[in-house]
Amino acid sequence: MKKLLIFPALLLFCSCEDVISIEVKEEKQQLVVDAWLTDEAQEQQVKLTLSQAYFDQEKPLPALGAEVYVVRQDSTGFRFNDNDNDGVYTYTPRNRNYLRMNERISLYIKYKEEEYYAISELKRVPAIDSLKYQSVTLPIKPEDGPKSGFRAQFYANDFAGEGDTYLVRWYKNDVLQARSSEYTLSYDGGLSPGNKIDGMLFFQPIRMAINSDSRLFVDRDKVTVELHSLPLDAYYFLYQVQAETNNGGIFATPPANIPSNIFNLNPESAEKAVGLFLVSKVSRYTAVIDKNNARPAD
């Protein structure tokens, strides 16, 4: 919506952006938990690092020597180990069922003298039925992409019943489009919790959220779509990540810290962690663009 509003402003005026330097206060380091687990039988990671000054351009320091466990509702625990001593704690499950649907999963971390925990829940996700693409010619050739190419959309149906939250992300030729502006969130197949639509085919802007505005797909490009189920706290976390990291222009909102679901077991402790622990169920669909199968342009 924000982009939409800026459009006429850009058309008329030369608004501009310059990189400037500002000084900000330096503050204490905090433990950063980056733990996004899926229900897939492949290596699962919990990355622990330390926060740094905002304009510090170095790689973040790893948080080493932590104990990391993921514990199921039936008290079965999985130990994550930092085998390479780089702050990436891993575990490789033998099958998809190491996490169970609609069950709460907890994360336990002991780092230095502090103990932290977080809770997430594995929610349902619908299958992706198909992926289609259409020929498109842009009016002006973009700097970083072709003038003619294809736009793709995936087809999936939201479950009936309120409160299903999802994330859509995509890979182009096996490269994850990893910027915060490149994933899309959906609430019951629509754009936001306020839009009370439910149980329909995903709303068109979400189905088409797997395209770059300027870099159209070309023949033989490989497109992979991932649809993740999200617990509600992760939905809001990811929603705010997009807001806080793309917050320029005249319709910016006041910057705010993103609440974390990582808590210190001792609520009195001054040491607070940041980041998010989430578990998601994934549907995936891959297609290779074939110009002969594309729908013609409108």
Partner 1 sequence: MKKDQSSRGFIRCITAFLFCLLLNPSFAQDTFTLSGTVKDASDGEALIGVNVYARDQQVGISTNVYGFYSITLPKGSHRLVVSYVGYHKVEREINLNANITLNLELKAEGNVLEEVIVKAEREDHNVKSMEMSVNKMEMRTIKKMPALLGEVDVIRSIQFLPGVSSVGEGSSGFNVRGGAIDQNLVLLDEAPVYNSSHLMGFFSIFNPDVVKDVKLIKGSIPSVYGGRVSSILDVRMKEGNSKRTEFSGGIGTIFSRFTLEGPLVKEKGSFVVALRRSYIDLLARPFLKDDLKGVKFYFYDFTAKGNYRINDKNTVYLSGYLGRDLFGADFGFDWGNATTTFRWNHVFNNKLFLNTTLFYSNYNYSLDSDLKNKNKEDVFRWNSNILNYSIKPDFTWYLNTRNTITFGGQSILYNFNPGSARVVSGGEGQDIGLNSKKALESAVYIGNEHKITGRLTLNYGLRYSFYDYFGTPLAYIFDESAPAGERKPLRDTLAFSGNESIRKYGYFEPRLAVNISLNRSTSLKIGYNRLAQYIHLLSNTTASSPLDVWTPSTNNIKPQLSDQVALGIFKNFRDNMYETSVEVYYKTLQNQIDYIRNADLLLNPYVEGDLMYGKGRAYGAEFFVKKNKGNLNGWISYTLSRTERKVNGLNNNEWFLSRIDKLHNLSVVSIYDISKKWNIGATFSFMTGTPASFPTTRYIWQGIAIPHNYSDERNTYRIPASHRLDLSATKRNKHALFGRGESEWVFSVYNVYNRRNPFSVYVRQNPDDPSRTEAVRYSVFASVLPSVTYNFKF
User: Which residues in the 63-122 window bind partner 1 by CB under 8 A?
Assistant: none
Closest distance between partner 1 and the C-beta of residue 97, in Å?
A: 25
- Please, what is the minimum distance in Å from the beta carbon of residue 74 to partner 1? 29
Taking CB under 8 A as the rule, does residue 155 contact partner 1?
Answer: yes
With CB under 8 A as the contact rule, which of the stretches 27-35, 73-81, 99-107, 210-218 interacts with partner 1?
27-35
Q: Which residues of 202-219 are buried (b: 16+ CB within 10 A; e: fewer)?
A: bbeebbbbbbeeebbbee
Please give the C-alpha separations between residue 226 and each of 38, 129, 144, 155, 265, in angstroms, as whole numbers: 11, 12, 25, 12, 34
Binding-residue pattern over the window 273 to 292 for partner 1, x denoting contact by CB under 8 A: -xxx----------------
Provide the minimum distance between the beta carbon of 271 and partner 1 in the complex, in angstroms, as a whole number.
12
Q: Report the C-alpha gap between 62 and 241 in whole angstroms.
A: 22
- Strand ranges inside 123-251, DSSP E: 130-137, 148-155, 165-172, 175-176, 184-187, 222-230
Task: Please state, in angstroms and rounded to a whole number, the distance separating the CA atoms of residues 120 and 237.
Answer: 13
- Cβ 283 to partner 1 shortest distance, Å: 17
In the chain, the N- to C-terminal Cα span, in Å, equals 24
Under a CB-based contact definition with an 8 Å cutoff, are residues 171 and 182 in contact?
no
CA-nearest of 159, 97, 94 to 127 is 159
Choose which of 3, 41, 56, 141 interacts with partner 1 (CB under 8 A): 56
52 binds partner 1 (CB under 8 A): yes
Q: d(Cα 222, Cα 286) in Å, to the nearest integer? A: 7
What is the rounded distance in angstroms from the CA atom of residue 242 to the CA atom of residue 230? 15
56 or 84: CB nearest partner 1: 56
Q: What is the 3-state secondary structure (H, E, C) of 240-289?
A: HHHHHHCCCCCCCCCCCCCCCCCEECCCCCCCCCEEEEEEECEEEEEEEC
Least distance in Å: CB of 94 to partner 1?
25
The site that binds partner 1 (CB under 8 A) totals a number of residues, namely: 84
Q: Which of 90, 100, 104, 241 binds partner 1 (CB under 8 A)?
A: 241
Answer for which of 3, 41, 43, 55 binds partner 1 (CB under 8 A) is 55
- Which of 63-71, 89-97, 216-224, 250-258 is the region at the interface with partner 1 (rule: CB under 8 A)? 250-258
Among 75, 83, 94, 139, binds partner 1 (CB under 8 A): 139
- Binding residues among 198-237 for partner 1 as defined by CB under 8 A: 198, 200-204, 236
User: Is residue 270 involved in binding partner 1 (CB under 8 A)?
Assistant: no
Instruction: Write the single-letter amino acid at 41.
Output: A
- List binders of partner 1 among 1-20 (CB under 8 A): 1, 4-5, 7-9, 11-20
> Using CB under 8 A, which of 119, 258, 282, 287 touches partner 1?
258
Tokens 């709303």 -> residue: 203
Nearer to partner 1, 258 or 287 (CB): 258
From candidates 76, 81, 173, 195, binder to partner 1 by CB under 8 A? 195
